Chain A
Amino acid sequence: DAKTTQPPSMDCAEGRAANLPCNHSTISGNEYVYWYRQIHSQGPQYIIHGLKNNETNEMASLIITEDRKSSTLILPHATLRDTAVYYCIVRAAGGFKTIFGAGTRLFVKA
């Protein structure tokens, strides 16, 4: 599975959009981009995934560049409860391994 690179930490003001970047320059054609987050002392929580097209759900939006070498997770109106570690993962469908890197620690400040 391809490797991802994320900034170690980011700050965001409450109510503003949080844009979390991820580089995955070695992604293969059959690999999806997944985002998870982990709030302190809890298990990771699935947020969103995509292959080529931009995706949106009730939690977030995922923007994938046309060459698929990078993506951005957008939390449109960040709240204090969005403070967490966010993991960007690329993974082929049908495989058994989901590799969690260090992620980005997002601090949402009042």
Chain B
Amino acid sequence: DVKVTQSSRYLVKRTGEKVFLECVQDMDHENMFWYRQDPGLGLRLIYFSYDVKMKEKGDIPEGYSVSREKKERFSLILESASTNQTSMYLCAIESGPTVDTQYFGPGTRLTVL
């Protein structure tokens, strides 16, 4: 079974803080993704990475950056957290070179006060 782990289930931070969300996979998958999910807006892609040190912007990258120094770990960084970044953050990996099934972590519910 594919396992995707996220560092925290719940996180509370203050405005202006730097926030790190970690995602770790236990298999040798290249593609990793960060989404945020908000009521009424569905899942929106923030960033993705298809290899170590590679990253691509998704649909809503503003206010976020990412880091992929090792294949198994993909970090989402909020350089200066703001209240509008309060959300559920979901990490996903993708398996298969031709059939691209996504497997998600449990999610991190971030509250920025």
Enumerate chain A interface residues (CB-CB to B < 8 A). Answer: 32, 34, 36, 41-46, 49, 91, 93-98, 100-103
Contact = CB atoms under 8 A, between A and B. Distances in A.
Interface stretch (B14-22, B61-69, B70-78, B103-111): B103-111
Contacts of B45: 97
A28 to B, nearest CB: 15
Nearest to A45: B104
A43 B90 contact: yes
Nearest to A97: B45
Interface-centre pick from A34, A43, A49, A97 (highest chain B CB count, 10 A): A43
A43 B105 contact: yes
Contacts of A102: 42
Contacts of A36: 102
A26 B7 CA distance: 39
B101 A100 contact: no
B28 interface: no
B43 to A, nearest CB: 4
A98 B100 contact: yes
Which 9 residue pairs spanning A and B have beta carbons closest together? A43-B104, A100-B43, A93-B98, A46-B101, A44-B104, A43-B107, A43-B90, A100-B42, A43-B105
